Amino acid sequence: MKKKEKTCPEETTCSVDYAFKRIGGKYKGRILWYLHEHSILRYGELSRTMPDITTKMLTQTLRELEADNLIQRKVYHEVPPKVEYTLTEVGQELIPFIQYLKDWGDKQIEKEQVKTI
């Protein structure tokens, strides 16, 4: 219908935008983080780790991360089925920065709690 190409004209710094699109989803950060903490997780484990995400969103988010080559999906064709998720190398590259973000978040949360008291 309409052009969507003008999100960022030509040269400028849309890599910021680019990156945020890839990890900015509602659950992406957490999924990446949990995969980092556990190295390898099955679908059900992820689901239990994040009880607030529905199967639909979890699947959808995992597929997006996979499409962006941040995680790897390994299917075992057996009964019952088994699927394992791991970070790709590209995904690993994001960990230090998520760590930074997490530390920042921790700090802010502490601050807020101090104020609340």
Query: Is 10 an interacting residue with respect to a copy of itself (CB under 8 A)?
Result: no
108 is a site residue for a copy of itself (CB under 8 A): yes
Give the total residue count for the chain: 117
CA proximity to 35, closest of 94, 75, 81: 94
- Of 8-16, 54-62, 88-96, 107-115, the segment contacting DNA by CB under 7 A is 54-62
Residue 73 tokens read as 């999906």
Q: Does 29 bind DNA (CB under 7 A)?
A: no
Look at residue 105 and give the partner it binds from a copy of itself, DNA, none, a contact being a CB closer than 5 to 8 Å depending on partner kind.
a copy of itself
Residue closer to a copy of itself (CB basis): 74 or 106:
106
> Residue 41 burial by CB count (10 A; 0-12/13-18/19+): exposed, middle or buried?
buried
- What whole-number distance in Å separates Cα of residue 47 and Cα of residue 31? 10
Residues contributing to the site for DNA (CB under 7 A): 1-2, 25-26, 42-45, 52-57, 59, 62-63, 73, 75, 80-83
